[in-house]
């Protein structure tokens, strides 16, 4: 089926060339980082994880979000999602690819990455994160590819795929749970040390992933002859509506616990993010923007009149995606490091090289995504036509 | 032809997967049988040994920055810590000075007696008995040495993921954000320098204990810092703990720090 990816229009090639350009820039800056060290980023002794790990965390969510089409289709036999399931699975593949790349660019000694499987350390959450992410990647490649090929050949997919499909559903939950466990099990990091972190991660994932999928469906409808379908988009929109509402609810639960108990070690991080601390408040406008965006998307998505209007739905999905991205891809990581365990306020601001490398990784993800979607849509067009 | 090539690639792929899984399998297998390979490390006759090394810092004897500086310098000098780094973001430190409010956040009264308020406190790796950093490390590059409880770093195994830095509640770990070697004042050939991209921290002078010497900070402190076995009732630290009221940093987190402070 790969041949379908190299037969495209001028626009398709133009888009791929643009992505390759961004990847190239990111790669060159990464070479610089390899040479100099992670000192070209804004990270410090106090804020030792930054933009890369934050993007990683957010994208694990987008990857896990794919399960929101897989589950209704395969478990509840919701036939309509047959038109979008492959898109959800392929989005998961591209997201996990970005996740793994973000881990690699964040390593101080990337050439030693195989020390993780060579010296398996069962007590380290990072070891388990490596396992769940890679297995999830392979599950989605195997399932997505074979189901699509079967569809192309007009036959039912192989019976042995069924157990793998069922396995991929709890597995999607596991990837984001384990990723939350990276943070929430650390003593002395009050911002993350909350049992609601994994549920919060999952709720924002199930909002961000399907929201992106809706936007991608709308783009596919516009640029190809394949229509993922009105009903499908509306069902996805309902999923986003529930997920983003639950996400804000979980966040408010956190706010209550923190501000009613008033334990400084937990409170200071949220104060820093939303109001600033000791004169440092670079994230304040971002965090409030995130809150407003999430509230707007709740209003637009819960109300059936606005949800059913695809123009408004587009706005709501962008609001959801950007809102959850700021929350997780920006605030979640640096918020946990400021103030530091010794209660110093050393603010973290990502540097330009850091952002260029991150953009390169995002572009790589979208390059993979475009190839996969091109294949999927071509097959769908072929089968229909 | 085409299908046989595909078959070959499938087999090759599965074989590669199998090879990659071998160490993981070994790890599980080891846990079940417990037959560790016999590795013997010969000890120096003069080596100092303990069940769990611990430190007592008498802050009454270290009242000013001037009193702390020689101690900090002694450590950083023999361990090739790059002290000439100008950009504070890249800072590396093993032992340094903090005010009471930062060394003991959560323990500081709003109205402290002036003496404590103005006393500089030495902070370093606590060599916790229950270290969260070792729990977090995905490669075993940082580990608690069973023989004497020192939390050590293998600079050659560290992949630079910095999970240990996130896990440490004491901010005791530094990362080499760039090549540290040009920023070492005077290289000590008897201790390894580090490369960029790895984490480092205080090692309780494991290399000195191995040849019968006390840690450099202890030596430079003129008796203000005591060092000994926490589980030997006759050790100097135990005698001090018996006769003085001591505090530890963030004791409530359950990491069991091995550095005690007499205030």
* Structural domain boundaries in chain A: 1-9+51-184+359-385, 191-211+227-350
* Structural domain boundaries in chain B: 1-39, 53-262
The partner residue sitting opposite A188, judged by closest CB among B90, B173, B253, is B253
pLDDT at A3: 84
- Residue A125: list chain B partners with CB under 8 A: 136, 163
pLDDT band for B1, please (50, 70, 90 cuts). very low
Burial letters A251-266, b for 16+ CB under 10 A, else e: beebeeebeeeeeebb
pLDDT at B36: 62
B256/B263 Cα distance (integer angstroms)? 19
pLDDT band for B87, please (50, 70, 90 cuts). very high
pLDDT surpasses 90 at A382: no
The partner residue sitting opposite A117, judged by closest CB among B23, B171, B176, is B23
This model of the complex carries an ipTM of 0.92
pLDDT at A384: 76
- Residue B105: list chain A partners with CB under 8 A: 265, 341-343
A364/A371 Cα distance (integer angstroms)? 11
- Residue B165: list chain A partners with CB under 8 A: 45, 48
CA distances, A135 to each of A26, A93, A164, A172, A265 (Å): 27, 11, 11, 10, 36
- Residue B168: list chain A partners with CB under 8 A: 188, 341
Contact B166 A110 (CB under 8 A): no
* Closest CA in chain A for residue B157: A115
Q: Choose from B138, B154, B173 for mutation: most chain A CBs within 10 A.
A: B138
A20/A159 Cα distance (integer angstroms)? 38
Measured in angstroms, the CA of B61 and the nearest CA of chain A are apart by 23
pLDDT at B2: 53
Contact A79, B124 (CB under 8 A): no
Q: Choose from B106, B139, B141 for mutation: most chain A CBs within 10 A.
A: B139
The partner residue sitting opposite A121, judged by closest CB among B137, B169, B178, is B137
Contact A357, A43 (CB under 8 A): no
In the numeric block, which tokens belong to residue B23? 């160490």
- Residue A124: list chain B partners with CB under 8 A: 135-139, 163
Contact B91 A117 (CB under 8 A): no
pLDDT at B19: 66
Percent of chain A beyond pLDDT 70? Answer: 100
Rounded to an integer, the average pLDDT of A301-314 is 96
The partner residue sitting opposite B138, judged by closest CB among A121, A188, A189, is A121
- Residue B198: list chain A partners with CB under 8 A: 108-109
pLDDT band for B44, please (50, 70, 90 cuts). confident
pLDDT at B186: 94
The partner residue sitting opposite B176, judged by closest CB among A108, A186, A342, is A108
pLDDT in tens, B224-242: 999 999 999 999 999 999 9
pLDDT at A1: 80
Q: Where are the beta strands (DSSP E) in chain A?
A: none
DSSP states along B218-253: HHHTTTSEEEEETT-TTSHHHHHHHHS-EE-TTGGG
Contact A121 B23 (CB under 8 A): no
Measured in angstroms, the CA of A327 and the nearest CA of chain B are apart by 19
pLDDT surpasses 60 at B81: yes
CA-based nearest residue to B261, from B119, B121, B107: B121
**A106 — phi, psi (to 5°)?**
-85, -15
pLDDT in tens, A109-156: 999 999 999 999 999 999 999 999 999 999 999 999 999 999 999 999
Architecture of domain B53-262: 2-Layer Sandwich (3.30)
- Residue B89: list chain A partners with CB under 8 A: 39, 42-45
CA-based nearest residue to A38, from A113, A111, A107, A104: A107
pLDDT surpasses 70 at B27: no
């Amino acid at each position: 089926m790969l041949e379908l990816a190299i037969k495209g229009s001028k626009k398709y090639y133009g888009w791929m060339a643009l992505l390759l350009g961004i990847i190239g820039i990111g790669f060159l800056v990464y070479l610089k980082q390899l040479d100099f060290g992670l000192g070209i980023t804004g990270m410090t002794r106090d804020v030792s994880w930054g933009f890369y790990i934050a993007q990683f965390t957010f994208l694990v969510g987008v990857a896990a979000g794919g399960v929101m089409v897989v589950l209704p289709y395969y478990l509840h036999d919701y036939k309509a999602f047959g038109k979008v399931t492959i898109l959800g699975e392929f989005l998961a593949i591209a997201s996990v690819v970005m996740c793994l790349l973000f881990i690699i660019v964040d390593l101080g000694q990337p050439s030693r990455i195989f020390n993780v499987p060579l010296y398996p350390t069962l007590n380290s959450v990072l070891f388990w994160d490596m396992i769940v992410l890679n297995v999830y990647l392979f599950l989605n490649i195997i399932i997505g590819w074979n189901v699509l090929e079967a569809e192309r050949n007009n036959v039912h997919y192989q019976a042995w795929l069924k157990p793998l499909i069922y396995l991929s559903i709890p597995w999607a939950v596991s990837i984001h749970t384990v990723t939350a466990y990276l943070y929430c099990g650390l003593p002395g990091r009050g911002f993350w040390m909350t049992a609601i972190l994994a549920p919060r991660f999952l709720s924002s994932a199930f909002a961000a992933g399907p929201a992106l999928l809706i936007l991608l469906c709308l783009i596919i409808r516009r640029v190809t002859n394949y229509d993922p379908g009105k009903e499908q988009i509306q069902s996805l929109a309902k999923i986003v509506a529930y997920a983003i509402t639950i996400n804000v609810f979980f966040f408010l639960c956190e706010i209550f616990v923190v501000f009613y108990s008033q334990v400084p070690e937990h409170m200071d991080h949220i104060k820093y993010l939303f109001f600033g601390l000791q004169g440092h408040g670079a994230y304040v406008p971002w965090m409030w923007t995130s809150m407003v965006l999430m509230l707007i998307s709740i209003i637009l998505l819960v109300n059936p009149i606005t949800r059913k209007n695809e123009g408004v739905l587009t706005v709501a999905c962008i609001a959801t995606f950007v809102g959850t991205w700021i929350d997780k891809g920006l605030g979640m990581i640096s918020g946990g490091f400021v103030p530091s365990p010794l209660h110093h306020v050393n603010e973290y601001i990502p540097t330009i090289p850091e952002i260029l490398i991150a953009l390169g990784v995002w572009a790589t993800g979208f390059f993979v995504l475009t190839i996969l979607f091109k294949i999927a849509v071509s097959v769908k067009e072929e089968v229909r036509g | 032809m085409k299908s046989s090539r595909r078959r070959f690639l499938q087999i090759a792929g599965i074989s590669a997967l199998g090879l990659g899984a071998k160490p993981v399998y070994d790890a599980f297998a080891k846990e079940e049988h417990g037959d560790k390979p016999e590795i013997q490390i010969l000890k120096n006759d003069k080596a100092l040994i303990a069940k769990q090394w611990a430190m007592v810092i008498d802050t009454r004897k270290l009242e000013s920055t001037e009193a702390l500086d020689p101690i900090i310098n002694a450590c950083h000098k023999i361990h090739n810590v790059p002290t000439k780094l100008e950009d504070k973001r890249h800072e590396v430190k093993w032992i340094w000075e903090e005010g009471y409010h930062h060394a003991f956040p959560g323990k500081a009264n709003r109205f402290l007696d002036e003496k404590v308020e103005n006393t500089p406190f030495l902070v370093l790796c606590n060599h916790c008995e229950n270290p969260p950093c070792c729990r977090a490390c995905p490669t075993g590059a940082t580990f608690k040495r069973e023989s004497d409880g020192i939390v050590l770093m293998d600079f050659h195994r560290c992949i630079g993921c910095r999970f240990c830095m996130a896990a440490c509640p004491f901010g005791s770990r530094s990362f080499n954000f760039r090549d540290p070697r040009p920023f070492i004042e005077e290289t000590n050939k008897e201790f390894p320098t580090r490369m960029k991209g790895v984490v480092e921290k205080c090692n309780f002078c494991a290399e000195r204990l191995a040849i019968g010497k006390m840690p450099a900070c202890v030596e430079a402190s003129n008796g203000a810092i005591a060092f000994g076995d926490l589980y030997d009732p006759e050790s100097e630290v135990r005698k001090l703990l018996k006769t003085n009221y001591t505090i530890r940093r963030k004791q409530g987190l359950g990491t069991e720090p091995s550095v005690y402070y007499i205030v």
